[in-house]
């Protein structure tokens, strides 16, 4: 088999692929970003992020409310990590089982609801003890948790 007309494109295409892959590797190491997205943030880190724009006394109240519920929230997040493993198992099975997929997704919904309730309880506790100024700053978006 002769390469003929393809030969003139082989070197430029090969160079382009190598440059692309090299740039991807260099960018990865320069930015220290993982190749896959990180898991959800720790509840204490979430509170710390939200507390940054608050007056010191209100920031302390918010941190304490989240710290008190952090063990429960972490336990819930561990359930979320198990969900990904179960989902992967369902999707990688030789035969697709819609009922197993439905059950796995229903479990994930329960985990997300439980986490939302725990976070909501921490926010209610904190807001009830915060100053009006702190609540205003929190309401104006100064305290959104990280994505």
Contact 66, 46 (CB under 8 A): yes
Q: Which pTM was predicted?
A: 0.62
Nearest-angstrom CA–CA distance, 42 and 15 = 43
> Any idea which of 20-24, 54-58, 87-91, 107-111 has the lowest mean pLDDT?
20-24
79 versus 91: the higher-pLDDT residue is 91
Listed ranges 10-24, 34-48, 57-71; the one with the highest mean pLDDT = 57-71
Radius of gyration of the chain from Cα atoms?
24
Closest CA to 53 of 127, 125, 140, 126: 140
- pLDDT over 90 for what percent of the chain? 26
In which band, very low, low, confident or very high, does the pLDDT at 126 lie, cut at 50, 70 and 90? Answer: very high
Least Cα distance to 58 among 139, 129, 140 occurs for: 129
C-alpha to C-alpha distance for 141 and 93, rounded to whole angstroms:
43
């Amino acid at each position: 088999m002769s390469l003929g007309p393809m030969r003139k494109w082989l070197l430029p295409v090969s160079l382009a692929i190598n440059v692309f892959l090299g740039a991807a590797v260099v960018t990865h190491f320069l930015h220290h970003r993982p190749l896959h997205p990180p898991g959800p943030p720790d509840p204490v880190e979430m509170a710390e992020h939200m507390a940054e724009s608050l007056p010191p006394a209100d920031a302390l109240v918010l941190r304490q409310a989240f710290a008190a519920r952090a063990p429960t929230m972490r336990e819930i997040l561990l359930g979320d990590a198990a969900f990904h493993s179960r989902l992967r198992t369902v999707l990688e099975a030789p035969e697709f089982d819609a009922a197993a997929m439905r059950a796995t997704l229903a479990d994930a919904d329960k985990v997300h609801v439980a986490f939302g309730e725990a976070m909501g309880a921490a926010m209610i506790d904190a807001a009830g003890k915060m100053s009006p100024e702190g609540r205003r700053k929190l309401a104006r978006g100064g305290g959104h948790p990280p994505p």
